[in-house]
């Protein structure tokens, strides 16, 4: 299990829904895509890199060979994948407090969805339906989603600033340089590995070592057995 | 279908894993072990796959049974009748069901077109692909780029709603932005209190070192997890 890659957490949640309500859920998502202002609450939260909802109709699980048994399901399923910064509790709670109605709308037709308020049944629901990730990768483990957005802003601002200082005197340069820093003061936070980066790395290393040691002891045991058998 | 948000792409792949196993180990267990033992950060195969922002692998063993009574939003006639008979009470509970196959789930967020991404994936990490997917149904028919793409298309599930809370720039641009942000913060701290002339001179050196427009030049590496190589060129 490796739900964490640096500052990002990978959450997978699978929830059943009545097959005949899939169209209604699709309609809600379609409206959200057409009118991005409906996702304003998610943008305000500002702790998500990327998130997605995928509805799998009950007869659409991939079937690749006649030898593979075909799924026979009564429910369709909704998969939710998100990449966020911070802890599990912070994320789930911020959803509840910031966008309860939007959240309830997205999961409205899912079986036994308890609504996002009160908090405890909602926590239980997410925890119960969550599937752990086995391998998780982030291209920038030291950065949050806000860092990536800030990086874009900083680079663009510095490029634009450089166009204005070609013939500037040192005093003019200094004045404009300070102005630029004031504009960027909220985007210049230092980035370093969080303690979680090393904890997650340590856990994966220990698991790999444990798995290697089990394999080695199995090989040793098999070797001993083979040697003890008379020729 | 909303697989894209600007130039960012949300890929979902569900690959059924073959039943049974070999060498006394089930295929599912073998796939799980192989993905759990992949390296972290810079050692992950995804670090070599161009344009990958974030990616994950896990196994969908089964669907989840919602056993809790009540809280349904849709009117259920059986729930009213359940107070009169045990049969109706049972009928009011959610249906319990199970998957017949277990699935390897591959989820990726990347920049650009799916075709280009799969091509980069196949060209850069063929060994990883073959190791991880070898026990999946119909993967034995994958032997080149074309058959790999066809296989992924068959296993792909379209995203219903994709939310992009970050940017849709290329990975090189994102990493360069992070590098410049970090370097500028350091520069601002190190050059406090200098005279206007000294500051201008130091800034010119800083700009020629960080090479703002050069995405192949000094930058963060994909999945860089420490500052040990800070400022070094890729």
Answer yes or no: is A180 within a domain.
yes
- pLDDT > 70 fraction of chain A, expressed in percent and rounded: 85
Neighboring chain A residues of B207 at a CB cutoff of 8 Å:
158, 162
pLDDT tier for residue B65 given thresholds of 50, 70 and 90: confident
User: A109 and A19: one domain?
Assistant: yes
User: In the predicted model, is pLDDT for residue B73 greater than 70?
Assistant: no
* Chain A residue with the nearest C-alpha to that of B15: A62
Of residues A193, A182, A172, the one with CA closest to residue B182: A193
Q: Give all domains of chain B, ordered by start, each with its CATH number.
A: 4-63+98-155 (3.30.70), 169-234 (no CATH)
Range of the domain at A28: 4-131
pLDDT, position A231: 41
Band of residue B75 on the pLDDT scale cut at 50, 70, 90:
low
Nearest chain A Cα distance for residue B84, angstroms: 22
pLDDT at residue A197, rounded to an integer? 53
- Interface membership of B91 toward A (CB under 8 Å): no
Q: Is the pLDDT score of B201 beyond 70?
A: yes
Looking at the structure, tell me whether residues A123 and A165 fall in a common domain: no
A11 sits in which H/E element: strand A8-18
What does pLDDT average to over chain B? 90
Inter-chain residue contact A50 with B163, CB threshold 8 Å:
yes
Give A123's contacts in chain B (Cβ within 8 Å): none
Contacts of B36 in chain A (CB under 8 A): 1-2, 134-135, 207, 211
Tell me if A189 is assigned to some domain: no
User: Taking CB atoms and an 8 Å cutoff, what residues of chain B touch A127?
Assistant: none
Q: Say if the Cβ atoms of A68 and B171 lie within 8 Å.
A: no
**A68 plus A21 within the same structural domain:** yes
Q: How many CB atoms lie within 10 A of CB B107?
A: 25
Same domain, A69 and A164: no
Contact A187 B101 (CB under 8 A): no
**When comparing pLDDT for B81 and B36, which is higher?**
B36
Comparing alpha-carbon positions, the chain B residue that sits nearest to A143 is B178
* Distances in whole angstroms, Cα of residue A135 to Cα of each of A138, A202, B38, B106, B201: 10, 14, 7, 10, 47
Q: What are the pLDDT digits (tens) for A56-106?
A: 999 999 999 999 999 999 999 999 999 999 888 888 888 888 888 888 889
Is residue A219 a part of any domain in this protein?
A: no
Q: Are residues A21 and A60 in the same domain?
A: yes
* Domain co-membership, A74 together with A162: no
Asked whether residue A138 is assigned to any structural domain, the reply reads no
The number of distinct structural domains making up chain A is: 2
Asked whether residue A25 is assigned to any structural domain, the reply reads yes
Report if residue A201 sits inside a domain. Answer: no
For A28, A54, B1, B114, the CA distances from B161, given in Å and listed in that order, are 10, 7, 7, 17
Tell whether the model's pLDDT for residue B158 goes beyond 90.
yes
A187-196, B58-67, B223-232: segment of lowest average pLDDT: B223-232
Q: Greater confidence, A207 or B98?
A: B98
pLDDT above 50 (res B60): yes
Average pLDDT of span B31-53: 96
- Please name the residue of chain A whose CA is at the shortest distance from the CA of residue B186: A190
Q: What pLDDT is recorded for position A204?
A: 65
Instruction: Establish if A172 belongs to a structural domain.
Output: yes
Residues A84 and A108 placed together within one structural domain of the fold: yes
A174-190 pLDDT tens trace: 999 999 999 999 999 88
A20 and A83, same domain (yes or no): yes
For residue A70, the chain B residue with the least C-alpha distance is: B100
A69 shares its domain with A162: no
Q: ∠ at Cα A51 (A94, B14), nearest 5°?
A: 135
Does A118 share its domain with A72?
yes
Instruction: Evaluate whether residue A191 is within a structural domain.
Output: no
pLDDT digits over B95-138, tens only?
Answer: 889 999 999 999 999 999 999 999 999 999 999 999 999 999 99
Q: Residues A27, A116: one domain?
A: yes
Whether A117 and A37 share a structural domain: yes
Sheet holding B8-16, edge to edge: A135-138, B52-60, B103-111, B8-16, B4-5
């Amino acid at each position: 299990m490796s739900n964490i890659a640096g500052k990002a957490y990978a959450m997978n949640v699978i929830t059943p829904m009545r097959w005949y309500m899939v169209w209604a859920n699709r309609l809600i998502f379609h409206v959200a895509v057409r009118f991005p202002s409906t996702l304003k609450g998610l943008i305000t939260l500002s702790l998500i890199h990327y998130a997605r909802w995928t509805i799998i109709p009950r007869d659409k699980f991939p079937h690749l060979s006649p030898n593979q048994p075909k799924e026979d399901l009564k429910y369709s399923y909704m998969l939710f994948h998100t990449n966020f910064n911070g802890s599990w509790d912070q994320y789930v709670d911020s959803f509840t407090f910031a966008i309860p109605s939007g959240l309830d709308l997205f999961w409205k037709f899912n079986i036994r969805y308890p609504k996002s308020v009160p908090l405890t049944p909602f926590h239980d629901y997410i925890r119960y339906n969550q599937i752990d990730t086995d391998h998780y990768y982030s291209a920038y483990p030291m950065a949050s989603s806000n860092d990536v957005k800030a990086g874009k802003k900083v680079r663009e601002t510095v490029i634009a600033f450089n166009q204005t200082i070609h013939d500037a005197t040192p005093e003019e340069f200094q004045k404009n340089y300070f102005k630029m820093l004031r504009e960027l003061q909220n985007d210049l936070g230092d980035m370093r590995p969080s303690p979680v980066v090393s904890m997650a790395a340590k856990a994966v290393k220990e698991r790999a070592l444990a798995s290697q040691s089990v394999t080695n002891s199995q090989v040793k045991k098999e070797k001993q057995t083979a040697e003890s058998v008379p020729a | 279908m909303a697989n894209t948000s600007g130039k960012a792409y949300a890929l979902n792949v569900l690959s059924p894993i073959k039943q049974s196993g070999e060498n006394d180990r089930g295929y599912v267990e073998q796939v799980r072990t192989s993905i759990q033992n992949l390296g972290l950060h810079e050692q992950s195969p995804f670090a070599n796959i161009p344009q990958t922002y974030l990616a994950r692998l896990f196994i969908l063993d089964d669907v989840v049974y919602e056993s809790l009574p009540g809280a349904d939003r849709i009117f259920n006639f059986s729930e009213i009748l359940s107070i009169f008979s045990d049969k109706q009470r049972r009928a009011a509970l959610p249906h319990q069901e199970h998957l017949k196959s277990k699935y390897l789930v591959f989820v990726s967020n990347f920049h650009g077109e799916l075709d280009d991404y799969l091509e980069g994936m196949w060209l850069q990490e063929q060994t990883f692909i073959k190791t991880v997917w070898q026990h999946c149904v119909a993967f034995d028919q994958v032997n080149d780029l074309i058959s790999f793409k066809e296989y992924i298309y068959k296993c792909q599930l379209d995203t219903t709603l994709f939310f992009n809370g970050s940017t849709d720039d290329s990975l090189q641009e994102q990493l360069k932005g992070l590098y410049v942000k970090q370097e500028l913060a350091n520069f601002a701290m190190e050059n406090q209190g200098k005279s206007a002339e000294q500051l201008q001179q130091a800034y010119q050196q800083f700009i020629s070192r960080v090479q703002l427009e050069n995405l192949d030049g000094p930058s963060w590496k994909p999945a860089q997890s420490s500052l040990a190589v800070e400022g070094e060129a890729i």
